[in-house]
Structure 1
């Protein structure tokens, strides 16, 4: 028997702990629609769900809807009395996400807003919504101060894709995504309203990781 790799472990975990027809159907619909295959993994989607449940989150803000895969998990976590507000730049992606969420029976729990997050976030703040209990950032990772302003003390903020195959530690990198990740870590270190860490991950998505912060 060959030595299992990261993807093998992910498949084993998903087969035993994440089996979910609606989630699988969402990924299949995204692929059929030609969306980029940059969703969180199935195991990571379940992790988001469990994290939101353990935090008792009822109001969630997501930056980067894509086809609604992570949105589906978050909507399930907030339950019938909760609400997920998700921001998506591409109208086509938002359309696919809406179809996926409606098919999964959670469309009524999700508010999809189309356009650049850097423009939509100030508009959202002007509405003076109830503070968010959890924020999941999977796009537009350079607009972080606004996310904090929309949360309550004790709220959880998760920023995906910050490790970038270990390049986060490369201070000479000229990769824009790597530099954004380093700037994020420095912002988290200097922001007194946040207590944070970065957790590295391996799996079907390769070597990456996420930043996790709690609002003080």
Structure 2
């Protein structure tokens, strides 16, 4: 029994039953050891979840930077979205991640290499990478098609602009490239927007009355 094997078993359990089903007791039963025996490999369930995230993240393939940083980030974001779909528990686990494992760190290091020539502060680059991860997780969540019943509470008097928009709208199927357009737009906004002007504090000294 190895730590990687334990993490792989935990991933399979979470895939089948959800993250809440992964407890030290249930995992011990699955691998055929006592719960105390698992603590020889991980000190807590939180650490176990960190290992699960890292194990799944090993599946990401990071191509060499091509010089087109938007394209590079979107290509890998597609892989991230596929991972979130394959492992529905992953978004919750990432949100509670305590320690980044080597494969998670590989991803951020690759992202910084891709963004090396982008004239933006390092803090913005890290924000952009985190944003990419979040958008991938959000877009992986299944959503119901929006139909007429969605707008049954619409009141043209109360919601005139929305009513006018819907009245003039032509029914169209969902855009297949929405994920790309949203992600590309957000990345460009974060990394190419000018820095806000520095704020200079003005101090007014009030002297005694003349």
Place the TM-score, normalised by the shorter chain, in its bin. under 0.3
Task: Give the number of the structure whose residues are more often helix, by fraction.
Answer: 2
Instruction: Report the TM-score, using the length of structure 1 for normalisation.
Output: 0.23
Task: Give the number of the structure whose residues are more often strand, by fraction.
Answer: 1
Q: In terms of Rg, which structure is larger?
A: 2
Instruction: Report the TM-score, using the length of structure 2 for normalisation.
Output: 0.23
Structure of higher RCO (CA pairs closer than 8 Å, 6+ residues apart):
2
